[in-house]
Structure 1
Amino acid sequence: METKQKTYTRIKSIFTVVIAVLLLPVTALSNTDHGDPKQDTVIIELNNNSKIVIVTKSREDLASLENYDINQMVKDLNAQLTDSVEYMEIKDGKAYVNDDGEVEMKDWKINDDEVRIKLGGVEVDVDPDKIDDWDEDDWEDRKKVTYETERYDRTTHHFNIDIGLNNWIEGGEFPDANNAPYSIKPFGSWYVGLNSVNRTWVGGPVFLEWGLGINWYNWKLEDADYIIQEGSERIEFNPTPPEVKGQKSKLTASYINASVVPMFDFSRGRRKITSIESGAVKIKKYSRKGFRFGVGGYAGYRIGSHTKFKYKDDGGKEKDKESDNFFLENFRYGLRAQVGWKGVELFAAYDLNEVFSSNRGPLNADGNSAALNAITFGITL
């Protein structure tokens, strides 16, 4: 019982620290090189036929080596080198620089026993063995460094969240143009997607974003005095009795999806990275550079759906929730467009197939089954 209590306390402490850290500001540093003077070379002969070769642009650059943690750099090289390695470079040497006596953090790798939480462009790692001794005052003594990478590794992975608005289109128009009972309320019909995304560099400015995700459509009716019901032959949007005053009427459907989106990234994947270390807590903040856009496709399978109707009946508040298939198509597929500028990423998605099965949609003003296609747009975090 005591062991379980300690485990619970530790888990609670970890998530408390992660939340606190995410609320703390990430301070960026900047380094800029100027000029291109003639380079000089310094060779230091060591034992066992080993050498240290230093190429500098000026005497001032050579003097600046006093600010680097060479010992840590050698330790990292020794840990990574194997018998099969004949040549190796440290491309982000700025990560070893000192600043006013602070040893800046290298591009660290996580240990197996650490906890990592990654959301969008922020990555937080916590060491459970040190968490009990960490408090917010330690943040004042944090180690920090900001640098840029020219390009990702061949493939990188990240987790993101899509937040947007849903609607559906009939014959190129939104249903509210004809005051249809199935018209959607533009604000309040939320779309949420949780995505596990890989980003593969193809060549030049071309990247391929691909992965899996789960998303939720929420179609909220413009007129809450209509209730969504599954009829004998089709989905129906029926008016409520006079004594019932609708407050909210919506249809929700969830899907698991696979997507592939070719991207043109004109900064060629360059990122600004701010690394911060404070005791048990390590943070990396990634900021993309430049302009990027792409268009690709997706396909999904429905894993759940339900309706929700909130209303007042004789003055009392009521809520009805019903789960069923509601003649929804089990499969969906469509086009997705993405555009980004630095840290801002926007998306739009359009289902090429109809939301409801063929001839199972609601009746329109002409008495025909409405062919509705889902459309979504929003921001990616």
Structure 2
Amino acid sequence: MKRLPVLLTALLLGAASAAQASDFTRLTPPRATNDDTIVVKLPNQASMTLFVKNKAQLRELRQYKLDSLLVLLDGYITQAEAAGKNSKSEQVTMEFYPAKEQPGKQVPEQIRITVRNQGPGAKTKSADHVDVTLGRVFGVTVDESTDGGSDRVSVRVGATAASDSIRNAQRQAKREEYQNRAVHSNFNIDLGLNALVDKGADANGVTPELRPIASRYVSLNWHYDIRLGEKGSVLYLRTGPELAFNNYMLDGNYQFTNTNGVTTLSKAEAGRSLEKSKLAVTSINLPLMPMLNFQDKKGKNAFRIGAGGFVGYRLGSHTKLKYEQDGNTKKDKDRGSYNLEDFQYGVQGLVGIRGINLFAKYNLNDTFKNNRGPQAQTFSFGLSLLTR
């Protein structure tokens, strides 16, 4: 592979002058892929073949100073070759950003170099391959092969089949790497509603009734899906912290009040109509949920179903009232525990396709402490959206 930088230098110089060197250049009929084939015969009996989409791609070289470009490529290819020797992989790809390294100079923004060495034991005689991409649209592929004692070099300018195969291979490798991971991390958002079930009356004999659409549930989840079993297993354990926000919006012009250390529901003052009367609770939860996660042929999540439990702890809570008084909108906010249970636990389940899940959570513990608030348990349900 030591000869490849030298070959690349000669070939690029020949490519730049190919349109002007009429004594040495022969244009052959287009290939089946509608590319133009340009054969350049050089005075030293060497020859090279360029496959281009059109001649305009050759003219794109004019925006660069070839001497500076070749010095850059020679140094970058040398680095890529050195990395290839130290790598167990047959293929090494490196990216360089000369425009950042040399601001103000007419150099490509990005140069990607892929070196592939099939080794002496390869079945084919094409042993060395270098793929160079200048920027995002201009590519050069150099293949060196030996057949019967004669060296042959081919150069392809533009988007190359080799580049496409390399990119496809890289995408496939990433998919396989993702599939083979023992732990997958993701961030998703739960958007849903709260309901109170198994309800009972408070000390005043009032049973809490919620406004369904206004009693919202939101949770920010950092989940870790841990594979249980060998590669290819679809059984996972989902866990990870969840920051949950439960809103309980009362109906019937009631509000939460504390009287003698007991939380009750009482009617608003005479003549006051409550536009909003809610109890907001923030908690941190930790799920432990076995889950079956099936993937499609491309390695992407296709279908999942799971059921398990969770534990949590209340971080804070407050009530909020919104009403009209003397022609002005008033908002009262009062922080307090309101005799809510600090620790919580329950069961949950989900079923999902692609990046969307349907979830349901049921708190087995009482929402309020025994005999210090209304009897109720929380049930939350809705959609879970995978963001990454």
Give me the TM-score of the superposition, normalised by structure 1.
Answer: 0.54
Tell me how far 1:335 sits from its aligned partner: 0.4
Tell me, in whole angstroms, the C-alpha distance in 2 between the residues paired with 1:227 and 1:187: 18
Q: Which residue of 2 aligns with 1:9?
A: none
Contact 1:212 1:256 in 2 (8 A): yes
Q: Which residue of 1 aligns with 2:379?
A: 375
Tell me, in whole angstroms, the C-alpha distance in 2 between the residues paired with 1:70 and 1:302: 57
Amino acid at match of 1:349: K
Q: Which residue of 2 aligns with 1:288?
A: 301
Q: Which residue of 2 aligns with 1:211?
A: 240
- Asked if residue 239 in structure 1 is aligned to residue 267 in structure 2, the reply is yes
Tell me how far 1:251 sits from its aligned partner: 0.2
Tell me, in whole angstroms, the C-alpha distance in 2 between the residues paired with 1:198 and 1:152: 15
Q: How does 1:91-170 map to 2 (within 5 A)?
A: 149=176, 151-170=179-198
- Asked if residue 248 in structure 1 is aligned to residue 276 in structure 2, the reply is yes
Q: Which residue of 2 aligns with 1:186?
A: 212
Tell me, in whole angstroms, the C-alpha distance in 2 between the residues paired with 1:99 and 1:251: 62
Cα distance change of structure 1 residues 227 and 161 upon mapping to structure 2, 3 Å threshold: same
Count of aligned positions:
235
Q: Which residue of 1 aligns with 2:354?
A: 342
* RMSD (Å), alpha carbons: 3.6
Contact 2:131 2:163 in 1 (8 A): no
Amino acid at match of 1:192: V
SS in 2 for 1:244: coil
SS in 2 for 1:157: strand
Q: How does 1:69-88 map to 2 (within 5 A)?
A: none
Cα distance change of structure 1 residues 310 and 102 upon mapping to structure 2, 3 Å threshold: same
Tell me how far 1:222 sits from its aligned partner: 2.1
Amino acid at match of 1:213: E
Q: Which residue of 2 aligns with 1:313?
A: 325
- Asked if residue 51 in structure 1 is aligned to residue 147 in structure 2, the reply is no
Task: Give CA deviations for 1:182-236 in whole Å, capped at 9, x if unaligned.
Answer: 201110211111111111111332111111121110011122x212112214211
SS in 2 for 1:151: helix
Q: How does 1:8-87 map to 2 (within 5 A)?
A: 46=119, 50-52=120-122
Amino acid at match of 1:288: N
- Asked if residue 228 in structure 1 is aligned to residue 256 in structure 2, the reply is yes
- Larger RCO (CA under 8 A, 6+ residues apart): 1
Amino acid at match of 1:191: Y
SS in 2 for 1:354: coil
- Asked if residue 196 in structure 1 is aligned to residue 222 in structure 2, the reply is yes
Tell me, in whole angstroms, the C-alpha distance in 2 between the residues paired with 1:325 and 1:375: 20
Tell me, in whole angstroms, the C-alpha distance in 2 between the residues paired with 1:210 and 1:351: 17
Cα distance change of structure 1 residues 154 and 52 upon mapping to structure 2, 3 Å threshold: farther
Tell me, in whole angstroms, the C-alpha distance in 2 between the residues paired with 1:159 and 1:53: 46
Q: How does 1:312-331 map to 2 (within 5 A)?
A: 312-331=324-343
Tell me how far 1:327 sits from its aligned partner: 0.2
Contact 1:148 1:270 in 2 (8 A): no
Cα distance change of structure 1 residues 352 and 101 upon mapping to structure 2, 3 Å threshold: same
Cα distance change of structure 1 residues 214 and 221 upon mapping to structure 2, 3 Å threshold: same
- Asked if residue 303 in structure 1 is aligned to residue 315 in structure 2, the reply is yes
Identity %: 30
Tell me, in whole angstroms, the C-alpha distance in 2 between the residues paired with 1:329 and 1:257: 14
Tell me, in whole angstroms, the C-alpha distance in 2 between the residues paired with 1:222 and 1:69: 71
Tell me how far 1:107 sits from its aligned partner: 8.8
Tell me how far 1:53 sits from its aligned partner: 5.8
Tell me how far 1:105 sits from its aligned partner: 5.0
Tell me, in whole angstroms, the C-alpha distance in 2 between the residues paired with 1:181 and 1:197: 36
Q: Which residue of 1 aligns with 2:22?
A: none
Tell me, in whole angstroms, the C-alpha distance in 1 between the residues paired with 2:308 and 2:161: 45
Cα distance change of structure 1 residues 146 and 99 upon mapping to structure 2, 3 Å threshold: farther
Cα distance change of structure 1 residues 347 and 271 upon mapping to structure 2, 3 Å threshold: farther
Contact 1:228 1:307 in 2 (8 A): yes
Amino acid at match of 2:383: I
Tell me, in whole angstroms, the C-alpha distance in 2 between the residues paired with 1:299 and 1:336: 11
Contact 1:162 1:194 in 2 (8 A): yes
Amino acid at match of 1:51: G
Cα distance change of structure 1 residues 211 and 242 upon mapping to structure 2, 3 Å threshold: same
Tell me how far 1:51 sits from its aligned partner: 3.3
Cα distance change of structure 1 residues 151 and 360 upon mapping to structure 2, 3 Å threshold: same
Cα distance change of structure 1 residues 313 and 270 upon mapping to structure 2, 3 Å threshold: same
Contact 2:206 2:265 in 1 (8 A): no
Tell me how far 1:164 sits from its aligned partner: 0.8
